[in-house]
Amino acid sequence: MKFDTPATTNPIDQGKVVGKPADRIDGLLKTTGTAPYAYERHDVAANPAYGWVIGAGIGKGRIRSMDLEAARQAPGVLAIVTAQSAGALGKGRMNTAKLLGGPEVDHYHQAVAVVVAETFEQARAAAQLVKVDYERAAGRFDLAKAKDDAAKPDDMFDGSADSSVGDFAGAFAAAPVQVDSTYTTPDQTHAMMEPHATIAAWNGDQLTVWTSNQMVDWSRGDLAATLKIPKEKVRLVSPFIGGGFGGKLFVRSDAVLAALGARATGRPVKVTLQRALMINNTTHRPATIQRVRLGANRDGTLTAIAHESWSGDLPEGKPDSAVHQTRMLYAGANRLTTTRLATLDLPEANAMRAPGEATGHMALEAAMDELAEKLGMDPVQLRIRNDTQVVPDHSPPKDDPQGRNAQAASGQSRAAGQPFSQRQLVRCLQLGAERFGWNRRNAKPGQVRDGRWLVGMGVAAAYRGAPTTKSAARVRLDRRGMVTVETDMTDIGTGSYTIIGQTAAEMLGVPLNSVFVRLGDSEFPVSSGSGGQWGAASSTAGVYAACVKLREAVARKLGLDPAAAVFADGQVRAGSRRVALRDAAAQGDLAGEDAMEFGDLSKKTQQSTFGAHFVEVGVDAFTAEVRVRRMLAVCAAGRILNPKTARSQVIGAMTMGVGSALMEELAVDRRLGLFVNHDLASYEVPVHADIPHQDVIFLDETDPMATPLKAKGVGELGICGVSAAIANAIHNATGVRVRDYPVTLDKLLRPRMQAG
């Protein structure tokens, strides 16, 4: 099915199941510990061996030699696989660094060997006996030092690293009110609970991997390319994922080494990456340096906007897309954005929840707050003053989400002046201000006290694109009236099982408990996969298409006119005839399979999601300890398919925004090229005690230009702007403006100590 005309009235609009706050249908499995996660699959591969991955002990250089003899003689050891013994390997198109290094070492903790033994403990113990002799080379580990040598990317994910409209330099110089500030954001890690983990088993030349992965088809292809075997020889199964946030978009070394270990031993092999390797071996959000310049008239009208960003990655890597939302959020006749990429030898950088926008908002929305202060203008009103209903900047095409890099997901090709399909940013700001009690905010910093706490409020706008990509599904009806949905879509904790089940239930007129959803298997039709805020809208559209096919098959089987058939309450009716749905499958199952392919509607209007974040913080007047007191997000993201699961996604994103604002930072050892705090003890993330009252409001919105369900994604919008809102609230509480994230107490105390 092709979606090339705006959606009109269809069965989804009934709203009997879709749009309702249904409990997650996989919730019972997860709360009872029976959901089959990758490493815990005891039902799929008998007598598995265990692999322990050895990561490189240098950040750059080469391996002179590896002494494996003592490890080979250790109890229980079955095989040791290195780059030398593995033979020629390829590299997947989604991978920047080789997943098995040697003799060259590209980054710290790059996998250089896997020890396979009868038990996990034996593999771990034997791995300590492997002696690796390295020749260390000088590496580039400091973004600030590499900034001046950063280059304009040749292979930019959005088609162009730079954009320019009007005369920015002239307009900025003439602007009566100016802001020129530089902000930095640190390297961050996904810190998901479930590690990267895989069980691999060969049956002749057929490989099956049970793994934790967000994008089944991408990773199936990349695993095949790495092992240099045909894609059809690989089956990838990933029905449950314990968190991903972009860190499991791509095949990683656990899957490759499990497959190589299984081939070497002739047995199934289980491999999980230890936490240190999850942080240094897999992908992370790269650090950025961002300069934002804003020029405005005294009434707050923006006349000049510039946003420049620098980030780093390994050779052949991609930059962070921090400037993208600045091309979309505010009006302004004279504009400039640039992106520069430095070559670094740190572990591989790539997508993490809302890649680009998460970091870009941290600068842009803080700069807007600085401008409001200089103008003596309310920050909410400043944003409203500069709203636009058309794209204000050039936004060159981002690759299809099925392309090389997951950061491609946040937008589509745009020219200045193109209308947004829906844009309710002003309503988000107004409603949020009303509900949050923004009128009680004291505009003068440092004036509100609650005992020893200085109290402040902050606001930020939120933008995230609403991409869609081709997605397929198969829907089957059996004689009991049960509906089974199969698609290789994944559920990374986002509620995919539930919204897919709701879509099928609505389309076929059955209750949700009559739908059984099967996900995450490469033997199922290829879906969009989970990531980039495209998963929910795309995958449910694919299920819609398959259900249309099944409805046609059912109607024909029952002798009804497919165009007139109504599916409701477990029945199909047309005219005066009413027939039980299950009767259509009395003589055998009926199935419908189709894909939703998206036409050029996304080229006619800019499809995006918008929001506003409001935060109140308390800052200890003596210690500068920061406590978030309450948070509100207002989101405009098309039809909300399930308000309960969508709310969970948004408050989870808000929580990640708290981490980015106040604590999350990978500490770089700039001598040796590693992230020092590579565990969950020293890499701090928010816990329950850090998160007080959170509220989420979804605007009543449908977008006929987006999908047949008139829905968009929302899971990444929830992090966009949160960190800036917190930083702005801290400034309102204390009068101290911190531009280097995270906002830790030492940075708040420094001005006081310097003054003293």
Provide DSSP, 310-350: EEEESTT-----TTGGGGTSS--SEEEEEEEEEE--SSPB-
Provide DSSP, 194-232: SPPEEEEEEETTEEEEEE--S-HHHHHHHHHHHHTS-GG
The number of beta carbons lying within 10 Å of the beta carbon of residue 320 is: 30
Per residue in 116-151, pLDDT tens? 999 999 999 999 999 999 999 999 999 999 999 999
Per residue in 546-564, pLDDT tens? 999 999 999 999 999 999 9
381 three-state secondary structure:
helix
Catalytic residue flag (residue 716)? yes
pLDDT on residue 389: 96
Domains of the chain: 2-35+468-601 (3.30.365.10), 45-138+191-280 (3.30.365.10), 420-466+607-756 (3.30.365.10)
pLDDT on residue 376: 98
Place of tokens 């939302």: 325
pLDDT on residue 154: 80
Indicate whether 510 pLDDT > 70. Answer: yes
Please give the structure tokens belonging to residue 129. 């006996």
Q: What is the reported pTM?
A: 0.96
> What DSSP state is assigned to residue 2?
E
- C-alpha dihedral sign at 544, 550, 555, 556: positive
Are the beta carbons of 720 and 649 closer than 8 angstroms? no
Average pLDDT, the chain: 95
Per residue in 20-45, pLDDT tens? 999 999 999 999 999 999 999 999 99
Indicate whether 394 pLDDT > 90. Answer: no
What are the CA-CA distances from residue 254 to residues 102, 173, 222, 362 (Å)? Answer: 16, 53, 13, 33
Indicate whether 403 pLDDT > 60. Answer: no
Cβ-proximal residues to 255 (8 Å cutoff; 6+ apart), any chain: 196, 198, 200, 209, 211, 213, 219, 223, 271
Helices (H) and strands (E) in the chain, counts: 18, 30
Per residue in 559-591, pLDDT tens? 999 999 999 999 999 999 999 999 999 999 999
Please give the structure tokens belonging to residue 646. 């969508």
The number of beta carbons lying within 10 Å of the beta carbon of residue 64 is: 10
pLDDT band at 410 (very low <50, low <70, confident <90, very high): very low
Mean pLDDT of 318-337: 97
Interatomic CA distance for residues 379 and 296, integer angstroms: 14
606 three-state secondary structure:
strand
> What DSSP state is assigned to residue 583?
G
Q: Of 308, 365, 593, 716, which one is the catalytic site residue?
A: 716
pLDDT on residue 65: 98
Mean pLDDT of 236-259: 97
pLDDT on residue 395: 58
Per residue in 200-230, pLDDT tens? 999 999 999 999 999 999 999 999 999 999 9
Beta strands in 83-130 (DSSP E): 104-105, 111-117
Per residue in 472-486, pLDDT tens? 999 999 999 999 999
Ranges of H-type helices in 19-165 = 27-31, 69-72, 83-86, 120-127, 143-146
Interatomic CA distance for residues 447 and 505, integer angstroms: 54
234-237, strands of its sheet edge to edge: 77-82, 111-117, 49-55, 269-272, 197-203, 206-211, 234-237
Interatomic CA distance for residues 223 and 206, integer angstroms: 13
Are the beta carbons of 187 and 285 closer than 8 angstroms? yes
Instruction: Name the burial class of residue 6, with classes exposed (0-12), middle (13-18) and buried (19+) by CB atoms within 10 angstroms of its CB.
Output: middle
Indicate whether 536 pLDDT > 50. Answer: yes
Instruction: Name the burial class of residue 5, with classes exposed (0-12), middle (13-18) and buried (19+) by CB atoms within 10 angstroms of its CB.
Output: exposed
Mean pLDDT of 333-344: 98
Interatomic CA distance for residues 487 and 472, integer angstroms: 7
Beta strands in 380-503 (DSSP E): 449-450, 453-465, 471-477, 483-486
